[in-house]
């Protein structure tokens, strides 16, 4: 079985250092086997940080299965990637790639770390953009990404992690310890 956390392409640039993932204590995870690889992943699937080259590996196409992405050139993707990378400790986008499938990105989740003045200048984590490619669903990759990003948030010292979800998927998140605390998030959209 291959490692569940893959090393980043040392020739490319990662959004964050993969040692952050490798150093996690995954013993609390339901699906991540302790030190023995992830049982629902095949040998060709591995998790790693988002890389600059993932534009060519289908990252935006994957995101379009979740929400509207838009059609924009590689240069815009790379400029945005550089802005995110220039804020170390804030953006942690994890991807699952199919190594045998040409490094195609088949799953992703992003952890955004928010610095707060409350709770003694604490940090809050927020889960964003959890999506698995439609061809790879029912392999528990969503659960795997959720557990991995949750442990990443815990390992980075956040006092809590939150996420927005539609009522119909609340049950999925509750299986992993997320609760509805009765808070309602309101939105004001400035663009479609």
Mean of all residue pLDDT scores within the chain: 87
Among 80-84, 92-96, 97-101, which is the least confidently predicted range? 97-101
Confidence bin at 1 (pLDDT 50/70/90)? very low
Q: Which CATH architecture has domain 19-174?
A: 3-Layer(aba) Sandwich (3.40)
Structure tokens at 148: 């991995």
pLDDT digits (tens, 9 = 90+) for 30-86: 765 434 444 346 678 889 999 999 999 999 999 999 999 999 999 999 999 999 999
DSSP 138-149: TSSHHHHHHHHH
**Of 137, 110, 152, 140, whose CA–CA distance to 31 is shortest?**
140
pTM beyond cutoff 0.95: no
């Amino acid at each position: 079985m291959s490692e569940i956390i893959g090393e980043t392409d040392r020739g490319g640039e990662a959004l964050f250092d993969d040692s952050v993932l490798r150093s996690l204590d995954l013993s609390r995870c339901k699906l991540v086997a302790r030190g023995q690889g992830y049982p629902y992943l095949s040998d060709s699937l591995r998790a790693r940080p988002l890389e600059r080259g993932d534009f060519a590996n289908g990252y935006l196409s994957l995101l379009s299965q979740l929400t509207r992405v838009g059609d924009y050139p590689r240069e815009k993707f790379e400029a945005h990637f550089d802005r995110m990378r220039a804020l170390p400790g804030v953006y942690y986008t994890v991807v699952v790639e199919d190594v045998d499938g040409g490094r195609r990105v088949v799953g992703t989740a992003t952890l955004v770390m928010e610095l707060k003045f409350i709770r003694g200048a604490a940090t809050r984590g927020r889960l964003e953009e959890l999506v698995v490619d439609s061809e790879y669903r029912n392999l528990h990759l969503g659960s795997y990404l959720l557990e991995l990003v949750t442990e990443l948030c815990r390992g980075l010292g956040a006092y809590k992690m939150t996420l927005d979800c539609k009522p119909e998927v609340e049950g999925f998140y509750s299986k992993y310890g997320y609760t509805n605390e009765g808070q309602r998030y309101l939105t004001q959209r400035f663009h479609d």
